[in-house]
Amino acid sequence: ETGVTQTPRHLVMGMTNKKSLKCEQHLGHNAMYWYKQSAKKPLELMFVYNFKEQTENNSVPSRFSPECPNSSHLFLHLHTLQPEDSALYLCASSRDRGRTEAFFGQGTRLTVV
């Protein structure tokens, strides 16, 4: 148990569906992250939020829409995805300052059909 919880653990969605991934952290951190992990590719940083403000969007397509209503919660809204978007989506959190480790959730395994 890392203190970062992601739901759902598994999600299958059609290309025309709209779904959301949820992440919650109980560590008192102010920075939160979305990473994408595809087979045979390095972990890709998607978004960074610091004190609820988005500080980085790593050229992510607009069909992925993040939302950070407070420092403890992070969402990733999905719509009109493509099969190549199938991957493990990992949420992480860290302290807002300094170079320190991130704590990861268990991920959501997304399959787009």
Partner 1 sequence: AQSVTQLGSHVSVSEGALVLLRCNYSSSVPPYLFWYVQYPNQGLQLLLKYTSAATLVKGINGFEAEFKKSETSFHLTKPSAHMSDAAEYFCAVSEEGQGAQKLVFGQGTRLTINP
**Residues engaged in binding partner 1 (CB under 8 A):** 2, 4, 6, 30-31, 33, 41-43, 45, 48-51, 53, 55-56, 90, 92, 94, 96-107, 109
Shortest CB 26 distance to partner 1, Å: 15
Helix (H) or strand (E) holding 40: none
- Using alpha carbons, list the distances in angstroms from residue 6 to 26, 59, 70: 12, 23, 16
Bridge partners, residue 99, by sequence: none
Nearest to partner 1 of 49, 64 (CB atom): 49
Nearest to partner 1 of 23, 81 (CB atom): 23
Which two structure tokens, joined as six digits, stand for 28? 């008192």
